[in-house]
Structure formats: C-alpha cells, structure tokens
Amino acid sequence: MKILLMGNPNVGKSVIFSRLTGVRVISSNYPGTTVSYTHGYMKLGEEQAEVIDVPGTYTLEPTCEAEEVARRMLESGNIIVNVVNATNLERNLYLTLQLLERKLPVIIALNMWDDTRHQGININLDKLREILGVPVIPTVATTSEGIKALVENIPNAFSPVKAVINHDERWAAVGRIIEQVQQVTHRHHTWRERLADASVHPFSGTIIALVVLAASFLLIRFIGESLIGYVFDPLFNNLWAPVLNRLSELMGGDGLFHNIIIGKLINGEVDFVQSFGLLSSGLYVPLAMVLPYIVSFYLVLGLLEDTGYLPRLAILMDTVMHRVGLHGYAIIPTLLGFGCNVPAVMATRILESKRERFIAATLISIAVPCAALQAMIFGLVGERGWQYVVIVFGTLLIVWIVLGFILRQVIRGFTPELLIEIPPYRIPPWRATIQKLWMRTYGFLVEAVPIILGAILVINILYVLGVFEAIANLTAPVVTGVLGLPKEAVTALIIGFLRKDVAVGMLAPLALTSGQLVVGTVVLAMFFPCIATFVVLLRELGIVNMLKSAGIMIVVALLVGGLLNLIL
C-alpha cells in the first residue's frame, strides 16, 4: 500500500511524515528531475505501508516543476492523506476539492488545530465531514495530538463521487463551504503575531533579518568549528593518523601507489591537509571539513524553517534576488555557501526552475567564499591591513551582483513569482527538527561522499602523473602576464582545485606585494571551486551546464583578476 501525504507548502506535512515513519526514511530525486521527496514506512495493522511526503503544491494544475511532480506522483498512490492548515481553510480547500475529484480514497488531517483556538477560528467538524464526504481528523503534528486517530482512520479513507468542475466553480464551492463550517471571532493579537507582522515590514523586517542572519551565521561557525576542533580533528589526528603512518611504513613511504592511497608525507608523516591521498585528504575533506558545517547549517536551517521565519525572509529578499534572476528562496543556498559550498549547491534544489538553479549554483561557486577560505582571507590578507580584506570581499560582492544581472539577461528561461504560504510563528518541535537534520545529513553522506572520494582519487592520479605540472607550465604566461603574479603562484592555483584555503596559504611564502596578494586571493576564490563542490555541481547541473558554469568561472576570474592587477 502506498500512502501519499499531499497538501499546500508549510502546512506541517513533513512533521506528520516524521510522526508516521520514525527514522526509517529515504530521500530521493523524482526520476528525470531535481525535485526531491522523502519516503518511509509505517505499520498499518498487519501490513507495512509506504508513506511518501509529496512536494507541497497549491493545485493540480502545475505552475512549476515541483507541482508537476506532485501531480504525477498522485497517479501511483493508493490512499491520500490531505494535510490541511486549519487556520487557512479557504486557501487549502481548493486542492482538497481537486483531490476529491480524482476518485481516490482521501482522509483529511486538519493540522494546526491548536492555532485555530488561539486565532478565534471555530470550525464545525461534523458539518465539514458531511460536506466533503471523507474523514476529517484534527491534528497538532508538533505535539502528536490527533496522530493516533489519523492512523486509525487511514483504512476509513473514502472516495466520494464528486463531479469534475472548473476553476471558478471550485472557488465558488470553497466559499460556500467556508460560510457553512467556519466562524471567526474577534480577539487581540498575540506577541507572536505582532512579531510576524514586523518580520515582513520593509524597515523592521530588514533589522530583524540582519539580526537573525548574523546570529545564524555565528551559530553555524561556532558549531562547525567546535565539531572540527573537539570531535573530528582529534579523531583523525589521534586515531586515524597513526594507522596511516603505520600503513605508510608498510608501503615503503613512497611510490606511485603510496602517493595515491596515502599521499605525500610531510616531514615524514601523513598530513591531512597537504598529503592529498585518498585515505588522508580524501577522507578528511568531506568528513572532517565539510560534514561539520553541513550538520551545523542544517540544524540552524531546520530551526528557521520550523519557527516559520524562512518564508518571511524569502519575501523580504524577493525583490533584491529577482535582480539577479532568482527569487527570495535563493537566499537560503547563498547563505549556506558561507559555511560550505557543497551543501549550498545541493540546496539549490529548492529553486523551481533549471535557470534559477544554474544561476544560483554558478554565483555561489564564484562569489561566495566558504568558511575555511574566509578564515585564510582574514588570517593572511588581514595581516597586510583590513582595507585589503574589504577589497577582497567587496570585489566578490560586486561580482555577485554584476554577474547575476548579466546571467539574468543572457540565460534563457523564467524566474517564477514567489507564491508561498506564510505560517504562524511556532516553537520548533525538537523531534522533527532532529529528524530533518538526520535525513539531510544522511543524504549528504550517501550522495556526495562516494562521488567526492572517487573524484579525489582521479585528481590524485593526475597529480601524481604530472598532469597538473604540465598544466601549470602551459598557463604560466597567463598568470604572470594577465594577473601579474609570479610563476610559482601557478601551483597554488592548481592546488585550489583540491583545497582553496590551502592554496591561499601557499601564497604566503611567495613574497607577494599586498596588491598581488589581493589579486591572487580573489582569483583563487572565484576560480574553479574545490573538488567537492565541483563534483556536486556535476551531479546537480549535469555535465553540459557544469561545463558552462566552469567556463563562466574561468572567464570571470581572469577578467576580474586582470582588472584588479591594473588597478592595484
């Protein structure tokens, strides 16, 4: 049996899904698309039923790829659990009527039932059940209220005989239902509602957004760096390093196979940052450098989602983001990029069109420095004076804006308008938040880590065989002529393909002027992303669009680097 959870966005489907399925969940992409959905299993009597959390949709008349996927998934379901926001019954009933016309068994979970009392909304459940002809179960997913009754009534899902009507007739029917089942009484606004109003006001909303984003960024950095410093670094240095050093001794400490598997020894020992072996840097980069920031970001992202703040941030940013061919939700992967570009590119899946995903992923890869790179910029460039740090980040910001505007004009396609439901502010349910954190982290481990390891293996083989050195010799005239950097900087640019922060560090012993250091740092930040991000770009965009994005990176990095060389 296949049970589909369907409803508008932000009605609590994911929380109900986690209540029904527990931890046995799988995140997948719908075939032929980048739209992701989650499915798991639950016990229904003596039978095991598959539960699918269908992408949120307002209608079965698709206006975007996610809604098209939701409509197609409907064809494979046995029972539909229609999750409805009880505080916005009129908006939600349009989809409900469309589902009832499909002649599939339907049961309605009238979620956020507690908020109806807080907002002075009275719904006659018996009358609503009579009109719709299907079971209607009030639920509060965050506290599990009504979930047991929902599960018990799933076998009672019913398929009423409903005539197919057109758009206008359907809205008229919704209006008649609301008149018969719902009454709204006056009450005073709560502090949460006053805060919700302030969050979308241009002036107060901007101040709130700056505070929330600054706090989120600091929290992500704190959690990520703490995990690295107190968990992953000790594990690798105290437990894994002795194993690799011993293995290195057994392999003779040198040789082609040794350098590919273990990497080159630094001062006679394995160095997880500089060895670039499959079992050294190959494991350290995705697990000890990328994973901590993924965990910290997805935790903060889950809290912002579950409190109801993200839709408000998206609305505030919508006008600005449209200037670069995106809509407000693109702020989420953009912010994620300041922690790590890998989950940022993966997060572009939330955007609705291929054009948006391409623009967002390209801008992130070029102009959004990850946390490790930021640390090197502050540490190395900051020694020459904070004005040079400002030049580096100011240049990246200008490139983000100008390149986004150009891509908006050049890349064909459309940027859909931002049509989202704004939920009320709520205290986040910790169980659901941790569940989402695990699902997203597990998705990264399963999807990205094996590909990253494979790519690092190939890159290391090319590095050991001298392919990168040949490339360095070939590109030396461009580096010295256009960018004004010494020939030795070519090695740093090549290493940037593996680790950007290490590559910036390799500029330190080259006795560069402050101007040259700024040029080298900006070019490294904008040039090819690190191998982990590059692999995820390939997976998310496909080989053709990945090559287009890489071409844009090369051209823009050389143009901006050459311009900075002339100015500085």
Concatenated DSSP letters for 124-193? Answer: -HHHHHHHH-S-EEE-BTTTTBTHHHHHHHGGG-B--------HHHHHHHHHHHHHHHEEE---PPPHHH
d(CA 301, CA 344): 12
Q: Return the CATH class of domain 2-184.
A: alpha beta
Task: Answer yes or no: is pLDDT of 24 > 70.
Answer: no
d(CA 104, CA 120): 33
CA angle (197 as vertex; 194, 198 as ends), nearest 5: 85
Burial of 215 (0-12, 13-18, 19+ CB in 10 A): exposed
CATH 3.40.50.300, the chain: domain bounds: 2-184
What average pLDDT does the structure give for the chain?
83
Q: What share of the chain has pLDDT > 90, as a percent?
A: 26
Task: Answer yes or no: is pLDDT of 202 > 60.
Answer: yes
Q: Quick one: pLDDT band at residue 409, thresholds 50, 70, 90?
A: confident
Sign of the CA dihedral running 555, 318, 352, 295: positive
Write down the pLDDT at residue 62. Answer: 82
Residue-wise pLDDT for 149-175, tens only, equals 999 999 999 898 888 889 899 999 999
The pTM of the full predicted model, rounded to 2 decimals, is: 0.62
d(CA 448, CA 271): 23
Q: What share of the chain has pLDDT > 70, as a percent?
A: 91
Q: Quick one: pLDDT band at residue 28, thresholds 50, 70, 90?
A: low
How do strand 25-29 and strand 36-44 relate by DSSP bridges?
antiparallel
Angular region, 189: left φ>0, alpha ψ -120 to 50, beta rest: beta
Q: Which of 131-135, 430-434, 494-498 has the lowest mean pLDDT?
A: 494-498
d(CA 525, CA 177): 57
Place of tokens 């965050």: 142
Write down the pLDDT at residue 133. Answer: 93
- As given in the structure block, the two tokens for residue 52 are 């699918």
Q: Quick one: pLDDT band at residue 417, thresholds 50, 70, 90?
A: low
Please give the average per-residue pLDDT across 234-244, as a whole number. Answer: 92
Task: Answer yes or no: is pLDDT of 451 > 70.
Answer: no
Which of 30-34, 137-141, 295-299, 443-447 shows the highest mean pLDDT?
137-141
Write down the pLDDT at residue 109. Answer: 96
Q: Quick one: pLDDT band at residue 418, thresholds 50, 70, 90?
A: low
Q: Quick one: pLDDT band at residue 22, thresholds 50, 70, 90?
A: low
Which of 183-197, 283-297, 544-558 shows the highest mean pLDDT?
544-558
Q: Quick one: pLDDT band at residue 354, thresholds 50, 70, 90?
A: confident
Q: Which of 556, 560, 552 is nearest to 484 (CA)?
A: 560
Q: Which of 400, 382, 379 is nearest to 391 (CA)?
A: 382
Instruction: Answer for the pair 105, 75: CB distance below 8 angstroms, yes or no.
Output: no
